[in-house]
Structures are given as C-alpha cells and as structure tokens.
C-alpha cells in the first residue's frame, strides 16, 4: 500500500534526521528536552499497547518502569556491567515481573484490574522506599564518561522501537486477537481467541518497553532516587499522554508526548502546579467529548459530519 | 508483652481504623449505587480537611464542630461534580460507565490536588481542638479524648447513614437503585436524581472524614491520593453491599496495621494493607462481607 | 369489566421501530389496548416481545413511531414518569430487589406520591391477593421460591396503582401448577379489579385462554391480530404456537 510505505519511509527519515541533531548542536537544554519527549513517547506507547489496544487499564505501569530502572541501575552503576547488558536485563526483568502478576490480575475484570495494578505499583514503591537508600550517585568513572549524546540516541531509538513494535503488533494476527479482546472479551473467547494469552502478550510488550524506558531513565540521571522510579506519576504521565494524543492509535502517544512535554516544560517555568491542573482538565475533556484524542480532533476538523452513534 | 500493651494497640487500631472506615463508606456507597469508582474521593476528603483548617484558622471554629459545616459544603460540591461531570457518563452501559468514570475521576484527582497545591501550597496544615483535649486511662490503656471523640463522631455518622438507608423512603430508593436501577425506575424512582443525591452524600461523608483526618493527622494536597488508596483497600476488603461492612473492614484494617507495626516496624505499615488488599482481590473478590457478584 | 368501545384506546402504539445498536428489533409495530381489556402478545422467542414491552415502559427508546396513553404521548418519557402515569411493567425474570425484604420490595413499588399516599390500603389488597406474601413479609426477597418471587413482582407492580399492567413472561421458569395460580390472579385482575393488562407470554395457550384479544409478533412485526378465542381455533396459530399437529387424515390448510 502506497500510503503505508510513505508513512514508513517518512518516519524512518524523521528518525534519521533527529538522530543527527547532536552532531549539529551542543545545547544541553535542547537535547534534554528532546530526550524527555522520546522517553515520553516510549512511556505512552508502552501503556497504549495494554491500555489502548488491549483495553486493559493498567494503573500500576510505574512498577514496570521502576523495575527496569532499578535492575539496570544496579547492574550498571553498582556492579559495573556494561550498560548494554544492564539495559536488556532491565527490560527482561520488567517482563518477568509482569508475567508473574499478569496471571492473577487478569482474572480480575475491568475496574478491579485497574485498582489491583494500582495496588501492586504502590506495594513496589513502598517496599523500594523502605529497603533502599534514598539516593545514590554514580561512581566517578561513569560520571566522567557521561555523554548526553548517547543518552539522546538511546531514547530516540527507544521511541522509534516502541512505535515500530506497536505498528507491528497492530498489523499482526496477534494484534487482531488483542483488539478483539478489547472490543468484547467474551465474544472473542467464543470465537476461539484465547483472551488470557493475548492479554499476556500485550502485557509483555507493554512491560518490556516500560522497563527499557526505566533503564534509560536510570542511565540518564547522575543522582538516582530509587523511589522516584516507582512514583505513580509515571503511570499518570503515560495515561495522560496516551489519552490526550489518542488512545488506541499508533500516532496518538507520539502526538501526546510531544504536546505534553512541550507544554509542561513551558508551563512549569511560570506556574508550578497549574500545568497539571490544565492537563487534568484536558484529560477529562478528552474522555468526555473526544475519545480519540488530538488525533481524532484533527480528522474531525477535516470532516465535520456527525458520527453515527 | 503485657495485656495492657496488646489492649493499647487494639484500641489504637480501632481509633485509626475508624478513620479508614469513614473514609471508605462514602466511596463504597457511590460505587455500590452508581457503579462509579470515584478515585478522586480522597481529594474530596482533603478538601474537607482544608475547609476545617480554614474555618479554624479564620474563625476559630472548633474542628469537631466544623464537621457540621463541612458536610453540607462537600455535599454541594458533590452535587456540582455529579451534575457537571459524572452525570454525563452515568447513562452509559455499565462497563463503559465504570471505565470512563474511573478515567474522569483520575483527571479530577490531578485537577483538585494541583489546584489545592497552587492555592494553599504544599505545606502540611493541622488543627487542634479546644473543646476536646486531654485524655483518660482505663485499665492501663491510654484513651486520648481527641481520638475517642473521632471514633464516636465516625460511629455516629455511620449510624445516621444506616438509619437513612434503612428507614426512609429515600433510603429504600437508594438501596433499590443499587440492586437494579431499571426495576427501580419502573417502580417510579427517578434514578438520575437518586444518583445525584447519593454522589453528593458520598462527598459529604468524605468531607466529614476529612475533618477527622485534619484533627488526628495533618492535611496537605498530597494526602488525597493516600486516602483514596486507603479507602480503596477497605472497600475491596469489605466488598460491596454493606455500609457497616465497610466500616468494620476499616476497623479491622486499622487493627491489622497496628499489629504489623508492632511486629515489623513502622516502615511496612502501608504495605500490610496493600498486601491484604491484593490477596482479597485475587482470592475472594466479593470481599469479606460482600455478596458474591 | 370491559367498558363499551371508548373513542380513544387506553394504549395506542403506532409504527414503533426499535433498534439494539445496529440491529433492528421492531418494525412498524402498532397495537392498541382498550380500557379494561386483557390483551396478549404471543410469538416465538426473539420476536421482539420483550423489546416492545421495554419500549412501552420507557426503558428503551424507539427509533421511530409513537406511544400514547389515553391520548398523551409517553414514548419520550423516562420509565419513572411512565410509571407515574399508571403504566407499570412486571419485567421478564422478575427483577426483584433481592437484598431487600418482601415488605420493602412492596413499599418501593409504591414510590410515586399518589401510590405512596394510598400504600396502606393497597398493601392490604396485595396481601389479600397473595396471602403468601403477607406470611413472608420480613423474608429477604432473594430467598423466595420462583412462584413466590413472581407474585412479589406482580404485587410490587400493583403497589404502584397501575391502570395498565405490563406482564412480561410471567410463566417463565415456573412449575405448571404455579403458573395456573398466577394466571388465575391475572384473570381476576382483569375481570374483577378492572386493571387493564397487556401480557407477553411464551405459553400461548394459557395466554389466549385468559385474554380478550391477542397480537402475534413474529420477527419484530405484527403478523396477526384478533379476538383471543378466534386465535385459539385458528389453525395457523394452533400449528405454530399451540403444539397442535393436524392428524394425517385431515387435509392440511
């Protein structure tokens, strides 16, 4: 299909161009901002895979982020393994944890799944806060070799990879089953779709990218607060980004991430808490009136006819 | 380990638990009747705490008395929130309704918490009562009057709610709507209006809980989420369908926490409740006192 | 006692279309019920009978058509308003408030102001009609037997002082002897108390025996109508709904 090819080529070009940015500039503020955007894209895409595609509202997403972060940080900064190893290990650890909790929690329906995952996330946060020191710093050699450009590239790669993964999932047979489960789990089950297996698959991919994002977070920060990695705000951010951009769509988390990070950085300078109020209101507006998010808004503006109910 | 010590811990667990129970009852009521899970419930509690604080700071009104102001103020806020916000999703089918109300209340949490932070700063606030101070010792167990008064106030509120639900026609309408809203509608009950008033009642209950929290703990914008979580834990422990069940589960949680603090130390206080919560969720979803779904 | 033909029928359903999402369940359904009549709607499973009842009650919004009660439109009213006007549904499957006691179920039935005012005398009447309910008034509704639950459901509806009682599948899941009891009550309601009844029933024979007139609903459309007595002897109805198979010597119609 020509359009699809165009999109793929266009996206690849965009990523390639963005990858060259560190070659042209040394500005830390720009690189940091883009880093945050890329991290946000990955965060959104990872949540969207379970929350948007599979329709399972996971309020404990921060747990995956935190585990990936903790494992990676420990292996890299404390035990001195190369970061590439720590990175992968972080992602896998998150997936392993997800599989363990996935089995019991997926037996819960709807809202009970949401609050169950919320509970899990909180247990992890509190346990981490109690068991680990408040903050740790990087050993000196790692501080000396700290290079923002590589963090930038990693985050960009992750944003691209998570989006690609979402795309591949959507166009696969597995993805079809996942979407069917979202629409009507019982009906899907009746037509032979093993709902649990599909939900677990979506959960695995979701946890993987959340964990890798967490690992990237651990790589990025010099001083590291373990409890922060498990903070529910990662979940909130993921949910906000996804919904504002357009839940269940491929490009939604990208748009949402760009919008969210840019607006937040802009507002946080002037009005500290107000930006969260604005996002909260925007989120509510989206849920109530614009379920498709900003993605839907643009297409609605282009074809102003009433949607059939 | 003297019997006094055990009794002291039990009693303290009851004191703490009565707050948990009161915080949970409003949430349970709204979820049971409207099938709306309002995760902003803790924020309403926090607002109630601030109402008490500002009344105390600006007018010197004793915090225990300000519960009488808090309840109607939060009731009106609840009316506004339902009318202007949740009402839009209440007509949807149950699954969509639950999901959307969860999301909406999540957004509301962000709005209220951060608005509070912007307006009143993140500083912790506390109040003290001049009416109720000091304490007594009974059989070697210390009973601070503030705590005791809190327990009594919580109990009175619960009993009043119970009477409302059992003895009044409106209460019957609420219970009928909770069981089967279509059948209730056919019987002549205005379901939308019942939802509206029940939601506002839930907010009022959160307000009263907030008053007690401001006296016994402190109030800051960040405490909203903590109390929502606490209320959620209690609601899951209790299961749906019983007001007294929710309150009892709150008391039990308070006691369980005290025991765990005793054994494991203060750091893991919160974890105990959450672990129980997860266990009940997975092993006995209808809760300890609820009816099977 | 049936009144002589009144100019405006009590209930007038005209051209009702109803949908479930994208699927259309009712197509241009029209029927009327006159004061004091017992009218029944028979037809196979899935014909749309329950949808029709729910639409009349206001639980379902029609996509086209009108419903008038004594000349006044009710098709846009929410169920509690329809109930206030005197149309009350005894839903399929009873739909009792299982966690509440028998007496409380009845009390809730008399929620509307007028009904509430007269609830003491109505309660007596209901207890007279269903003595078993009086016996078990403090019992939890969910613990009653099927037949008792059906009586409670009818009793609850009666507490609302209905002028038109909608009964949806009252015999569902009940033993034959209990069904007989229920239908005796339904007949008495119609004949003695002057309550107008619109009855949807799988058990076509019983329904036709107790009714004055009947409609046949098939696949969302009115396939036929007439006096109940006539339909009882109509060979097509007999074959389709009364389980009557013509003997081999008889010529097929």
pLDDT in the model for residue B213: 94
Q: Mean of the pLDDT values across residues C136-153?
A: 92
In the prediction, which pLDDT does B198 show?
Answer: 97
Instruction: Among C95, C97, C111, select the one facing B188 at the smallest CB separation.
Output: C111
Q: Using alpha carbons, list the distances in angstroms from residue A252 to A38, A246, A276, B150.
A: 14, 4, 20, 48
Q: Which residues of B touch A230 (CB under 8 A)?
A: none
Chain C residues with beta carbon closer than 8 angstroms to that of B190: 78, 80
All structural domains of chain C: 8-86+164-240 (3.40.50.300), 95-161 (no CATH)
Higher pLDDT, A56 or A268: A56
The Cα–Cα gap between A296 and A249 comes to 9
Instruction: Find the mean pLDDT for residues A193-202.
Output: 86
Query: What mean pLDDT is predicted for residues A224-243?
Result: 90
pLDDT, tens digit, 9 for 90 and up, residues B10-25: 999 999 999 999 999 9
What's the token pair of residue A109? Answer: 């329906």
Question: What does the mean pLDDT of chain B come to?
Answer: 90
Q: How far apart are CA B250 and CA C212, in angstroms?
A: 59
Tell me whether B87 touches chain C (CB under 8 Å): no
Q: Which among C28, C13, C20, C118 has a CA at the least distance from the CA of C67?
A: C13
* Residue A270: per-residue pLDDT: 65
Which of A56, A130, A227 to mutate to probe the B interface, most B CBs <10 Å? A130
State the pLDDT confidence band at A306, using cuts at 50, 70 and 90: very low
Cα–Cα distance for residue pair B22/B31, rounded to 1 Å: 15
pLDDT per residue as tens digits for the range B26-46:
999 999 999 888 999 999 999
Mean pLDDT of chain A: 86
- Mean pLDDT for A154-171 is 92
User: Chain A, 145-204: which have a CB under 8 Å from a chain B CB?
Assistant: none
CA distance C160 to C85: 10
pLDDT tens sequence across C45-78 = 888 899 999 999 999 999 999 999 998 999 999 9
- Mutant choice from B274, B276, B287 vs A, greatest count of A C-beta within 10 A: B274
Mean pLDDT of C168-192: 87
pLDDT value at residue A308: 43
Query: How close A274 comes to chain B (CA, Å)?
Result: 7
Q: What is the 3-state secondary structure (H, E, C) of chain A?
A: CHHHHHHHHHHHHHHHHHHCHHHHCCCHHHHHHHHHHHHHHHHHHHHHHHHHHCCCCCCCHHHHHHHHHHHHHHHHHHCCCCHHHHHHHHHHHHHHHHHHHHHHHCCCCHHHHHHHHHHHHHHHHHHHHHHCCCCECCCHHHHHCCCHHHHHHHHHHHHHHHHHHHHHHHCCHHHHHHHHHHHCHHHHHHCCCCHHHHHHHHHHHHHHHHHHHHHHHHHHCCCECHHHHCCHHHHHHHHHHHHHHCCCCCCHHHHHHHHHHHHHHHHHHHCCCHHHHHHHHHHHHHHHHCCCHHHHHHHHHHCCCCCCC
Query: Would you state the pLDDT for residue A78?
Result: 83
Q: What is the DSSP letter of C60?
A: S
Asked if A239 reaches chain B (Cβ–Cβ under 8 Å), the answer is yes
- Classify strands C38-42 and C196-200 as parallel, antiparallel or unpaired: parallel
Asked if the C-beta of C218 comes within 8 angstroms of chain B's C-beta atoms, the answer is no
Which one has a higher pLDDT value, A49 or A24? A49
Q: Which residues of B touch A108 (CB under 8 A)?
A: 281-282, 285
Report the distance separating Cα A113 and Cα A110, nearest Å: 5
State how beta strands C87-90 and C164-168 pair. parallel
Q: What is the pLDDT of residues C122-132, one digit of tens each?
A: 999 999 989 99
The alpha-carbon gap from B245 to the nearest alpha carbon of chain C, in Å, equals: 15
**Are residues A166 and A227 in contact, defined by beta-carbon separation less than 8 angstroms?**
no
Mutation target to probe the A interface, by most A beta carbons within 10 A, among B123, B232, B281, B292 is B281
Place of tokens 């309601």: C189
Mean pLDDT of B109-135: 88
Kindly provide the ipTM of the predicted complex, given to two decimals: 0.87
The answer to whether the beta carbons of residues B129 and B62 sit under 8 Å apart is yes
Overall average pLDDT of the A88-113 stretch: 88
Residue B168: per-residue pLDDT: 93
pLDDT confidence of A206, banded at 50, 70, 90? very high
Say what the pLDDT of residue B292 is: 54
Contact B179 C57 (CB under 8 A): no
Q: Where are the alpha helices (DSSP H) in chain B?
A: 3-34, 41-59, 63-84, 94-120, 145-167, 169-179, 181-186, 191-216, 223-238, 243-264, 269-283
pLDDT at C140 over 50: yes
CA terminus-to-terminus distance, chain A: 30
Nearest C-alpha in C relative to B242: C99
Q: What's the pLDDT tens digit per position in A114-142? A: 888 888 888 898 888 888 877 777 777 77
What is the rounded distance in angstroms from the CA atom of residue A102 to the CA atom of residue A60? 12
User: pLDDT category, A302, cuts 50, 70, 90?
Assistant: low
Class of residue B262 by CB neighbours under 10 A (exposed 0-12, middle 13-18, buried 19+):
middle
Task: Write the pLDDT tens digit of every residue in B254-265.
Answer: 999 998 888 888
Q: Per-residue pLDDT tens for B219-239?
A: 999 999 999 999 999 999 998
Give yes or no for a contact between C107 and C100, defined as CB atoms under 8 angstroms apart: no
Nearest to C165 by CA among C48, C46, C64, C82: C82
Give which of B255, B254, B244, B258 is closest to B288, Cα–Cα.
Answer: B244
Q: Between residues A292 and B111, which one has the greater pLDDT?
A: B111
For chain B, say whether A271 makes contact (Cβ under 8 Å): yes
pLDDT band at A307 (very low <50, low <70, confident <90, very high): very low
Q: From residue B121, how far is each of A40, B114, B126 by CA, in Å?
A: 28, 9, 14
Identity of the highest mean pLDDT range in A110-114, A119-123, B167-171, B271-275? B167-171
Question: Is B137 a residue whose pLDDT tops 90?
Answer: no
* Cβ within 8 Å of residue A44, ≥6 positions away: A238, A241, A242, A245, A252, A253, A254, A256, A257
Residue C103: closest CA among chain B residues belongs to which residue?
Answer: B172
- The answer to whether B281 contacts A112, with C-beta atoms less than 8 Å apart, is yes
**pLDDT grade, residue B293 (50/70/90)?**
very low
Tally B–C CB contacts below 8 A: 76
Taking a C-beta distance cutoff of 8 angstroms, is the pair B276, B27 a contact? no
Alpha carbon of B100: minimum distance to chain A alpha carbons (Å): 7
% of chain C exceeding 70 in pLDDT: 93
pLDDT at position B140 is: 80
pLDDT band for position B171 (cuts 50, 70, 90): very high
Has residue B291 got a pLDDT over 70?
no
* Under 8 Å between Cβ of A128 and A226: yes
Best residue in C90, C107, C111, C155 for a mutation probing chain B (most B CBs within 10 Å): C111
Could you tell me what percent of chain B has a pLDDT over 90? 62
Adjacent-strand bridge partners of C11 = C33, C69
Q: Does C96 touch chain B (CB under 8 A)?
A: yes
SS3 (DSSP) at C38: strand
Interval B186-217: pLDDT, tens: 999 999 999 999 999 999 999 999 999 999 99
């Amino acid at each position: 299909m020509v359009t699809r090819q165009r999109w793929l080529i266009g996206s690849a070009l965009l990523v390639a161009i963005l990858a060259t940015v560190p070659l042209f500039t040394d500005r830390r503020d720009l690189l940091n901002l883009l880093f945050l955007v890329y991290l946000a894209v990955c965060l959104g895409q990872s949540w969207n895979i379970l929350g948007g595609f599979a329709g399972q509202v996971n309020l404990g997403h921060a747990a995956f982020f935190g585990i990936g972060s903790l494992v990676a940080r420990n292996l890299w900064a404390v035990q001195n393994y190369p970061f590439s190893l720590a990175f992968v290990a972080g992602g896998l650890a998150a997936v392993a944890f997800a599989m363990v909790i996935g089995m019991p929690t997926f037996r819960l329906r709807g809202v009970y799944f949401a609050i169950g995952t919320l509970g899990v996330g909180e247990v992890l946060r509190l346990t981490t806060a109690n068991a680990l020191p408040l903050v740790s710093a990087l050993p000196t050699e790692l501080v000396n070799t700290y290079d923002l450009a590589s963090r930038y590239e990693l985050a960009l790669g992750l944003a691209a990879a998570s989006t690609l993964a979402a795309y591949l999932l959507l166009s696969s047979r597995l993805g079809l089953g996942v979407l069917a489960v979202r629409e009507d789990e019982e009906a899907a089950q009746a037509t032979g779709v093993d709902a649990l297996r599909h939900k677990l698959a979506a959960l695995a991919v979701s946890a993987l990218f959340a964990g890798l994002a967490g690992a990237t977070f651990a790589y990025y920060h010099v001083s590291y607060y373990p409890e922060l990695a498990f903070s529910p705000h990662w979940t909130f951010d993921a949910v906000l980004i996804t919904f504002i951009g357009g839940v269940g769509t491929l490009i939604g988390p990208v748009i949402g991430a760009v919008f969210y990070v840019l607006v937040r950085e802009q507002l946080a300078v002037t009005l500290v808490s107000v930006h969260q109020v604005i996002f909260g209101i925007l989120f509510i507006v989206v849920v109530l009136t614009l379920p498709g998010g900003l993605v839907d808004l643009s297409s609605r503006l282009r074809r102003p006819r009433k949607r059939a109910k | 380990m003297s019997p006094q010590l055990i009794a002291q811990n039990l009693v303290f667990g009851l004191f703490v638990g009565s707050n948990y129970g009161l915080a949970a009852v409003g949430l349970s009521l709204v979820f049971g009747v409207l099938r709306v899970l309002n995760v902003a419930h803790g924020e309403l509690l926090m607002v109630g705490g601030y109402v008490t604080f500002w009344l105390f700071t600006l007018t010197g009104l004793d915090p225990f008395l300000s519960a009488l102001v808090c309840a109607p103020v939060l009731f009106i806020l609840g009316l506004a929130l339902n009318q202007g916000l949740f009402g839009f999703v209440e007509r949807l089918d149950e699954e969509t309704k639950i999901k959307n109300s969860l999301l909406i209340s999540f957004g509301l949490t962000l709005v209220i918490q951060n608005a509070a932070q912007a307006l009143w700063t993140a500083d912790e606030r506390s109040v003290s009562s001049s009416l109720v101070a000091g304490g007594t010792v009974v059989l070697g167990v210390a009973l601070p009057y503030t705590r005791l008064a809190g327990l009594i106030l919580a109990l009175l509120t619960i009993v009043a709610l119970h009477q409302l639900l059992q003895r009044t026609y409106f209460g019957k309408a609420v219970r009928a709507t909770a069981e089967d809203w279509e059948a209730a509608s056919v019987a002549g009950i205005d379901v939308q209006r019942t939802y509206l008033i029940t939601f506002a009642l839930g907010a009022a209950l959160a307000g009263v809980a907030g008053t007690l929290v401001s006296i016994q703990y402190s109030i800051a914008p960040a405490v909203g989420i903590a109390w929502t979580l606490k209320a959620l834990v209690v609601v899951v422990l209790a299961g749906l369908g019983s007001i007294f069940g929710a309150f009892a589960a709150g008391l039990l949680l308070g006691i369980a926490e005290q025991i765990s603090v005793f054994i494991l130390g203060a750091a893991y206080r919160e974890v105990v409740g959450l672990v129980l919560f997860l266990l009940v969720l997975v092993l006995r979803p209808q809760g300890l006192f609820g009816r099977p779904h | 006692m049936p009144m002589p033909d009144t100019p405006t029928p009590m209930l007038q359903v005209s051209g009702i279309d109803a949908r479930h999402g994208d699927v259309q369940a009712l197509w241009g359904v029209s029927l009327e019920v006159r004061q004091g009549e017992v009218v029944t709607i028979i037809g196979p499973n899935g014909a749309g009978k329950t949808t029709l009842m729910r639409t009349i009650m206001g639980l379902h919004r029609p996509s086209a058509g009108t419903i008038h009660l004594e000349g006044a439109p009710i098709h846009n009213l929410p169920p509690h308003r329809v109930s206030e006007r005197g149309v009350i549904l005894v839903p399929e499957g009873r739909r009792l408030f299982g966690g509440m006691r028998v007496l409380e179920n009845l009390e809730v039935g008399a929620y509307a102001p007028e009904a509430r005012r007269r609830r003491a005398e109505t309660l007596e009447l209901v207890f007279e009609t269903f003595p078993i309910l009086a016996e078990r008034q403090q019992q939890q509704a969910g613990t009653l037997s099927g037949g008792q639950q059906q009586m409670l459901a009818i009793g609850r509806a009666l507490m609302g002082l209905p002028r038109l009682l909608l009964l949806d599948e009252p015999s569902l899941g009940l033993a034959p002897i209990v069904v007989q009891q229920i239908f005796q009550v339904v007949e008495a309601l119609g004949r003695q108390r002057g309550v107008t009844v619109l009855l949807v029933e799988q058990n076509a024979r019983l329904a036709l025996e107790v009714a004055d007139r009947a409609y046949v609903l098939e696949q969302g459309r009115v396939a036929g109508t007439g006096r109940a007595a006539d339909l009882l002897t109509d060979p097509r109805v007999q074959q389709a709904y009364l389980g009557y198979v013509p003997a081999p010597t008889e010529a097929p119609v």
